[in-house]
Structure 1
Amino acid sequence: MEINNMQSSFVLKTNDLHSQKVLKTPAQAEASFKAAFKDALNNVNQLQQESGQKTQQLVTGQIDDLHEVMIAGQKASVTLQATVEVRNKVIEAYQEIMRMQV
């Protein structure tokens, strides 16, 4: 049985940390964040669709391996929960910034 490494789309790799020491303009930072967030959402969507397809294949009898279907479902669930938590933190940070007095 092969165990695949599951990585979150929101985790920065060490190479990314070293390359981001260069100061960016707000527009560049916005574009970078937007691209990272879009990639993460696409990854979540892909895992959700894959889980749905494997479930459908199990129901129709095309797949006999229940473990594969359950693992795909759990991957999709964990990435969706992580995405929701990141969204909650972003909203919380935005609300905190809006409460600041200038």
Structure 2
Amino acid sequence: MTSPVGGVSFPSAITGLSGITGAAATPDAVAQTTAAGDNGFASVLVSSLEELQAKQATSDGLAVQASTGDLRDVHDYMIAANEAKLATDMVVTIKNKAVEAFNEILRMPV
């Protein structure tokens, strides 16, 4: 399984942002990030993509271990694979909703 975001390189302005990761993004945490001067949405987006890439890399590594017989517990691979799948589904859904919102904004009369 290859990482769909493996070839993505982030601009240096975005890479340096620290933010909130994944499902831990609460309204209070988002408000604190925005109040601290970070680009709230950009940092959440970048950290989510980085977390997705890490989950997929973990799943890929465990898949290789399973195929070579080095994996001691198959449950570790199954959990990592399901986490990677759910994270991918979440990122795709968020992307689709963002595109839908952007298109809705474009259709608004001026």
After TM superposition, the score normalised by the length of structure 1 is: 0.76
Q: In the aligned structure 2, how far is the partner of 1:21 from the partner of 1:75?
A: 28
Q: Would you identify which runs of 4 or more consecutive aligned residues in structure 1 move more than 3 Å?
A: 17-22
The number of aligned residues is 90
Q: In the aligned structure 2, how far is the partner of 1:14 from the partner of 1:91?
A: 22
CA RMSD of aligned residues (A): 2.4
Q: In the aligned structure 2, how far is the partner of 1:90 from the partner of 1:21?
A: 19
Q: In the aligned structure 2, how far is the partner of 1:48 from the partner of 1:60?
A: 18
Is 1:10–1:36's contact at 8 Å kept on the other side of the alignment? no
Give the Å deviation of 1:15: 3.2
Structure 2 counterpart of 1:63: 71
Percent of aligned positions that are identical: 26
Is 2:22–2:51's contact at 8 Å kept on the other side of the alignment? yes
- Unpaired runs of 5+ residues, structure 1, are 1-7, 23-27
Structure 2 counterpart of 1:5: none
Task: Give, as a single letter, the amino acid of the residue that structure 2 aligns with 1:78.
Answer: L
- Unpaired runs of 5+ residues, structure 2, are 1-20
Give the Å deviation of 1:32: 1.9
